[in-house]
Structure 1
Amino acid sequence: MGATALLLDLAAGIALLLWGVRMVRTGMTRAFGARLRRLLGSATRNRFSAFAAGIGVTALLQSATATAMLVASFAGRRLIGPAAALAVMLGADVGTTLAAQLLSLDLHWMGPLALVIGVGLFLSTESGNRRHVGRLFIGFGLLLLALRLIVAASEPLRNASAFATVMAPLAQEPLLAVALAALLTWAAHSSLAIVLMLVGLASAGAISVPLALALVLGANIGGAVAPFAATAGQTPAARRAPLGNLLMRAIGVVIALPLLSFVPQWLGALGLEGPRLAVHFHTAFNLALALLFLPLLAQVELLCRRLLPDAPTAEDSTKPRYLDSGALDTPSVALAAAARETLRLSDTVSRMLDDAITVFKTDDARLAKAVEQADDQVDKLHEAIKLYLTKLSNHEMDAEESRRYVDVLTFTTNLEHIGDIIDKNLMELAAKKIKHRLHFSPEGMQELADFHARVAGNLQMACNVFMASDAKLARQLLQEKASLREAERMAAENHYRRLAAGRAESIETSAIHLDVIRDLKRINSHLTAVAYPILEQTGELSATRLRADEQQQAGKKAAPNGGHAKPA
């Protein structure tokens, strides 16, 4: 039972360490993620500034994997050059060692203080940066508490014969130790957490120094495997930087492994000894990699390009362009990416709407088929945006981000419904018109074109309302809905006059004519839905209608003559 309790304590310490690292990264990303992304994007003019940016961003995020995902995202969209991307990765490797150096110091007194500050900040508000900074402090406090728990749980292992028996093969087989540590680090997705755990075990004397050094090499390999595996399915351009980082670390491990027995002596000559020798070696190893490979980045990039060549096929227009999976930890950035992809979706819907009226004018069956195929693209983009937002919903969002999340999802869904109306309703009516060789009267066709032009204009206005959340535009869009209702009534009356006059074209196309106007009106209703949340927020919308309209109606009822109220 004593051994079981000991292993549980050790496992709990490791679990708490992983959770603390995650909380620090999450708090930093949500509080300052957008700024860190801008810093990383603007500091890649050359390999040296990119290297420095990688150090700074990773030291703050405490996760080389998070930095690697950002770099992969930038590289996939051609926002950063391949050599600069590899330089950032080298900097990220050094940056995570600086975090390990800091956290391996005797800072146990800071743990309780960080927890008190963090909980106070976290509970003092329901949203905003203060809550995220509080999460960061809580994670830092948990990190320090976890390290103390690991050291305390490891103390009895120093003299435990069973543990020594288990560790003996690893001490004799450094390759096995490297493989085991790489596997653990890949599973944990945090080389920082594994290195800190090794420091704790070494501090308690539970593992020997040579074994700790071999395990550190494995942690470096596993830390490079995690981002490369996480980018599976992305473009070759996005995966080359993580691949280059993995290759550079693997080469470094191959060089360092035969020299492990000399490392304690070399580091000792620099005055670096004691239980923190593992973290010193971690830093020295990554600094050596940077010195070795910074001048050779062009050659590494060429090797990565050969291993991951660009796909020869043309870009698939049905695939999303802006849904950055690396931004999911920063909801504000991820929502901006989803909104941008939604605008791309709206462009496709707008082309479908424009082509639809052309089909009615020209009876072009091929164009009708193209409109139907475009709806397949709309469906795929809608599905991609919806799945992206579903992943984002697993991350905590503040009130403003939650509101924007609903806005994006709702507008995207309305655009998909509009695509269905164009495909399954308007194109079906067009097919009937073409099949039976029917023709609208010149006046009827002009009415449809004018009605369509107003709806098309409202589509553009709805996109502006969606992006800007402008109350004035939202009010204008909602007023246009009432105006379009009047236009529908006038068009129907004009059509009935032509029927009464016995116009043959109007009689033949009567059902199609009225159904087209009805479907265009339905499209407009989906568009105007974007205005309601904005006007509700500003207090301009009651449960049923615009407040100004209610006041106008009340004025008409109160007016005794001609529907005009007397001045007060």
Structure 2
Amino acid sequence: MELLINIAGGVALLLWGVRMVRTGVTRAFGSGIRRGVSAATRNRFSSFFTGLGVTTILQSSTATALIVGSFGGRRMIAVPAGLALMLGADVGSTIVVQVLAFDVSWMSPVFLFIGVTAFLSSENSRRRAIARFFIGLGLMLLAIKMVMLASVPLREGPTVSLLLAPLQSEPLLAILFAALLTWIAHSSLTVVVLIMTMVSLGVMEIHLAIAMVLGANIGSAITPVAMNWGSDPAARRVPVGNLLMRATGVILTFGFIPWIVPYFADFSVDSAHLIANVHTGFNLVVAIIFLPFVGWVARLVVRILPDRAGPDDVLAPKHLEEESLDTPSVALSAAARETLRMGDTVEYMLSRTMDVLRNGTLDQIKEIEREDDIVDSLHEAVKIYLTKLSRQELDPAESRRVVEILTFTTNLEHIGDIIDKNLLELAAKKLKDGSVFSKDGLEELEALHSDVLANLKLALSIFMTGDARLARRLMEQKVHIRELEQKYSEAHYNRIRDGKTESLNSSSLHLDVLRDLKRINSHITSVAYPILESTGQIAESRLRDE
């Protein structure tokens, strides 16, 4: 029992080390990696080598597949280029296996010392991410040493032989078992390293090990397919195509397992290195076979996964990618883009509001009301996304940006509610009662509405740029809007005093519209507060000192 616990602990530590390496790289260089992937579409060869390079750094073909899948979902990368990139990614994922086939466990304390020292001595998010990368490497090497030491007693006992006997006689079952294990672990690297360890200790027979390596290659291709299962068909095409190519490669290789061993034994240092060479060789052969035919495979997966009929779901977020959460800078950019989309919807609602107040119809009112459903849905999506992001380790600037985005989306949602629950109800009431604004009153409402709409556009620009000069201008507009509201209210009362019939009949309606537009502007100007506070241009309180 103690033996199994030690092995399980070593495997768990290896999985955690792999994750730390991946998250360290994505946090430090995630934006550059994604830009490189999106730019690598000139031809299949540039795509192949980009995939190889990116995955050698990330050490996760699954992570690369998710990035490529997200680009495919937004039509930012063609399916043939994505497939070529994944062929390179599959080869890249074998590079570290080649290194780990040699005894480099002595490097573990070195990497751990470098990583921990760098992590504790810096508050810079990129440096800490690079430190995380070194800690992950150290943990991986330490975990492999743990598994090897814990597995030594297995050579003397019959337990493992009894457990592996069914797999030994049924190589197809061994492939399926390794595929399942890899899918559960979400890491072919971990499974292949475990297989190498068992082979080097003489616990696992070499032919069985090769069958399980083939299974691990299928399992690593299943993971991104499963994780993208509910996505748009365009986002699933590259992962599905990669799975088809790997599965075909396994089928073609399966019958040649007995002939593989003597061929690779000629240039392998030991049995562990032989398994690493088989793993790399398999992915190289698959790449050589399928690289000329990625166009044909692309047409096949497009036929298997055609575009969905009907319009896109307007309530669904378009930029919030789960795989970006490991890279806070990318995730924050995605949340900001979704917030801008939300802002554009609110701007459309506000711009149409004056039309329906002037002479709108019930159909127009209902159309604008439906837009508020989009605002509410996007607000909820951004809030959940940023809540997940906040569980990550963020530096102070990233934490502040999370709060800024959440605050701004909340204010946009409030503006949508004011338009939906107040202004549109006032428009419906005006239509039902047949009320008419006076000529002067309508001009005043249009002038105030125009200024508030201009301020909303300015606020969206400030949200993205953080420009202190524009933020100050927006705050000055808050005073201007308040003065206009007071001025127009007094002018309305003067018209009532003069006995103007239209003003008497529409008095409550007119004043409510003025009040709601001022409330909307208050929510708009909130985006300026954190910027002006950070630059010392605004006091914490308006109260005078006693």
Return 19-28 or 426-435, whichever deviates more: 426-435
Aligned AA for 2:142?
L
State the shift of 1:127 in Å: 3.6
Confirm or deny: 8 A CA contact 1:9 1:153 kept in the other structure. Answer: yes
1:100 Cα deviation (Å)?
1.3
Unaligned runs of 5+ in 1: 555-568
- In the alignment, which residue of structure 2 is the partner of 1:539? 536
Measured in 2, the distance between the counterparts of 1:331 and 1:236 equals 27
1:113 aligns with 2:110: yes
Corresponding residue number in structure 2 for 1:562: none
Please name the residue that 2:496 is paired with. Answer: 499
Instruction: Give distance in 2, aligned partners of 1:172 and 1:276.
Output: 24
Aligned to 1:140: 137
Deviations 1:86-128 (A, max 9, x none): 0011111000001211223211121100000000011112342
Is the 1:199–1:275 Cα contact (8 Å) retained in structure 2?
yes
Alignment of 1:288-303 (within 5 A): 288-303=285-300
After superposition, give the CA deviation of every residue in 1:258-295 in whole Å (9 maximum; x if it has no partner).
11111111112334542221111100100010011001
In structure 1, what is the Cα distance between the partners aligned to 2:367 and 2:301? 39
Whether contact under 8 Å (1:20, 1:142) holds in the other structure is: yes
CA RMSD of the aligned region, Å?
1.4
- Equivalent of residue 332 in structure 1, options 329, 332, 337: 329
Between the aligned partners of 1:310 and 1:110, the Cα distance in structure 2 is: 50
> 1:12 aligned to 9, 13, 18, which one?
9
- What aligned pairs does 1:420-439 form with structure 2 within 5 A after superposition? 420-439=417-436
Q: Distance in 2 between matches of 1:136 and 1:473?
A: 40
Q: How many angstroms does 1:338 deviate by? A: 1.3
The answer to whether the 8 Å contact 1:115/1:142 transfers is: yes
The answer (yes or no) to whether the contact 1:318–1:381 under 8 Å persists in 2 is yes
* Letter of the 2:223 counterpart: A
Residue deviations 1:360-384 (CA, integer Å, cap 9, x gap): 1113222111111111121122222
Distance 1:187 1:437 in 2: 66
CA distance in structure 1 between the partners assigned to 2:122 and 2:523 by the alignment = 36
Correspondence 1:111-510 to 2 at 5 A? 111-271=108-268, 273-510=270-507
Please report how far the alpha carbon of residue 201 of structure 1 lies from its aligned counterpart in structure 2 after TM superposition: 1.5
1:511 maps to 2:495: no
Q: Distance in 2 between matches of 1:362 and 1:129?
A: 56
CA 1:297–1:363 in 2, change beyond 3 Å: closer, same or farther? closer
Q: Give the match's secondary structure for 2:326.
A: coil
Q: For residues 186 and 391 of structure 2, what CA distance do their matches in structure 1 show?
A: 18
Letter in 1 for 2:76: L
TM-superposed CA distance for 1:508, in Å, is 1.0
2:45, 2:26 → 1: CA distance?
Answer: 24
Q: Which moved more, 1:383-392 or 1:34-43?
A: 383-392
Deviation at 1:312, TM superposition (A): 1.8
Q: CA deviation at 1:335?
A: 1.1
* Residue number in structure 1 paired with 2:87: 90
Q: In 2, distance between residues paired with 1:515 and 1:267?
A: 82
Counterpart AA for 2:237 = R
1:32 alignment counterpart: 29
Taking the aligned partners of 1:168 and 1:316, their CA distance within structure 2 comes to 52
Partner residue, 1:557: none
Residues 125 and 394, structure 2, Cα contact 8 Å, conserved in 1: no
Q: Which amino acid aligns with 2:127?
A: R
Q: What is the match of residue 563 of structure 1?
A: none
What's 2:48 paired with? Answer: 51
Aligned mates of 2:510, 2:351 — CA distance in 1: 17
Identity of aligned residues (%): 52
> Quick check: 2:268–2:274 contact (8 Å CA) kept in 1?
no
CA distance in 2, matches of 1:127, 1:229: 35
Aligned residue for 2:76? 79
Partners of 2:199 and 2:271 within 8 A in 1: no
Contact 2:320–2:335 under 8 Å retained in 1: yes
User: Normalized against structure 1, the TM-score is what?
Assistant: 0.94
Map of 1:565 onto structure 2: none
- Report the residue type matching 1:33 in the other structure: G
TM-score (norm 2): 0.98
Quote the Cα distance in structure 1 between the aligned partners of 2:75 and 2:99.
Answer: 34
* Contact 2:478–2:521 (8 Å) recurs in 1: yes
Q: Could you tell me how far apart the structure 2 residues matched to 1:363 and 1:59 are?
A: 60
1:528 to 525, 528, 531: 525
Secondary structure of 1:160's counterpart equals coil
Q: Quick check: 1:155–1:205 contact (8 Å CA) kept in 2?
A: no
Give, as a single letter, the amino acid of the residue that structure 2 aligns with 1:31: A
